[in-house]
Amino acid sequence: MSTLIRGGTVITASGETVIDGGAVVIRDGRIADVLRRWDAGQAFDGDVIDAAGCVVMPGLINIHTHGVTPGPLFPSAAAALPAERWMANLDRHLLAGTTTVLSLCGFASMDDVREADKRHAVHVRGATTHLPHCLQAAELADGKGLTAEVGDLTVEGMLDDGAIAIGELGGGQTLGGGGQDLVYIPAAIQKSSGIRVNIDQARRIKEAVLGRFIDIRAFDPAALAEAAKDAGLADAFTATQLAKLVRDTVMPSFVPAIEGIREGVRAASKFGVPAIVHSASATASVLRELMPELEGTGATLIAAHANHPSHTPAEAHELAVLGNKMGWPAEASVFDLLHRRRTVKTREHWDLLLKEPGLISVIGTDYGHDGDHDELISAVQDIAARGHRSLAGAVAMATSAVADLVPGIAPGSGRLEAGRAGDVVVASAEDFRDVRVVLADGVCVVRDGQLTPEAHR
């Protein structure tokens, strides 16, 4: 089967190559040719896609996803999503031009990952956190998704079975972060009072009890009283009760989760695979401790969502600069900070880190609110539109740079070059979220912005 995409602005993700009015020929699942032009009258034996007014780029590679496979959800090993939910999450990625995802939930088996990969056109890759302290942290934070088999898996076994990275080491759920604010603290408050608080109220209460760095010495009773009153909890709890509830929800998993990060980066260094570490205010000090320890070992240690809003923008910047100096590539997550703005309501960290050349290597989405993150492709457009990178540079951050950083995530993909995999996206040049066509391995899986029957198998 052959496809010709002609007339669009072709961004190859190899260096700075942008070809206006170029053409891409895909044959037998692979890119056969990238051409400067294709005359309208020239015949083609196959499917012809007119990409006038569109950008044409490699299928995006998302280095930071959750909820895209069966098996335990998140680093807290929460209950597995039903198949229709993880399939719908993959649909969302595909409809936005992402053809490869790395699942960073960490406790799924490679059978779980392969099932998702097999049933959906998106290429699904797996990572592992099957380490004693990571498991303990998950059990203490949630653990409802754990099955007997999970305990038998090891990082070494998972890597032998095809996992390509270690991660996500730590997470908001196990480290008193956004996952606690969104899910576990509101649930604990509701369970004992019947009152539902929202994510912002939960965060404010938590920070009054534990500060931004998750430290019991940071307790501020006056701030807690204010936060409790504003959340309508003044009659339901005494300050002592509410502080205890927050500590009991957040703290048990915190110490093992930090130890799990140490365990994980050492395993990455030992096995020579990349590790992806949750970077946030709660992990800033362990990252500072590990950076010199791992220096010169050649390990690829990736700071996930270096733009995490638990940092102040200045803290995020300082940690990213240090990481950069110590050889830790940084990923910036778009979360939902561009459009939806339910979990991250500021773009300050995003802009501050991205405007500095070379500070951020790659971009991902993370999970957003219940999987409703902003589109990776709109992050690409935003980075170019704001002038943080050239268009080619912005595309590379979600394609070739990811493929180069994590060997195995998309071997043979990530660039529009002859011989590479036929993973190609055509999107409106005005608004990249308006994705018209997606090819995965040369098969049309999105057409006119809709999934084709080939998207699911």
- The site for Zn ion (CB under 5 A) is made up of 278
Tokens of 151: 């305990």
At residue 56, what is the residue type? V
Tokens of 189: 């408050």
Nearest CA to 220 among 208, 203, 238, 233? 208
Q: How far is the CB of 311 from Zn ion (least distance, A)?
A: 13
For Zn ion, the closer of residues 278 and 389 by Cβ is 278
Q: What are phi and psi of 134, to 5 degrees?
A: -65, -40
Q: How far is the CB of 319 from Zn ion (least distance, A)?
A: 14
For Zn ion, the closer of residues 66 and 130 by Cβ is 66
For Zn ion, the closer of residues 58 and 167 by Cβ is 167
Query: Exposed/middle/buried for 328, CB within 10 Å: 0-12, 13-18, 19+?
Result: buried
For Zn ion, the closer of residues 38 and 367 by Cβ is 367
Q: How far is the CB of 155 from Zn ion (least distance, A)?
A: 18
102 by DSSP, 3-state: which? strand
Q: How far is the CB of 218 from Zn ion (least distance, A)?
A: 21
For Zn ion, the closer of residues 38 and 335 by Cβ is 335
Cα Dmax for the chain = 78
Sequence-distant (6+) residues with CB within 8 A of 441 are: 29, 421, 422, 423
CB 437 within 8 A of CB 99: no
For Zn ion, the closer of residues 133 and 278 by Cβ is 278
Q: How far apart are CA 321 and CA 30, in angstroms?
A: 39
Q: How far is the CB of 74 from Zn ion (least distance, A)?
A: 9
Q: Please give the residue whose beta carbon sits closest to Zn ion in the complex.
A: 278
Q: How far is the CB of 63 from Zn ion (least distance, A)?
A: 12
| Omega before 417 within 30 of 0, i.e. cis | no
Sequence-distant (6+) residues with CB within 8 A of 341 are: none
For Zn ion, the closer of residues 303 and 426 by Cβ is 303
Q: How far is the CB of 340 from Zn ion (least distance, A)?
A: 18
154 by DSSP, 3-state: which? coil
CA contacts within 13 A on the Cβ side of 216: 12
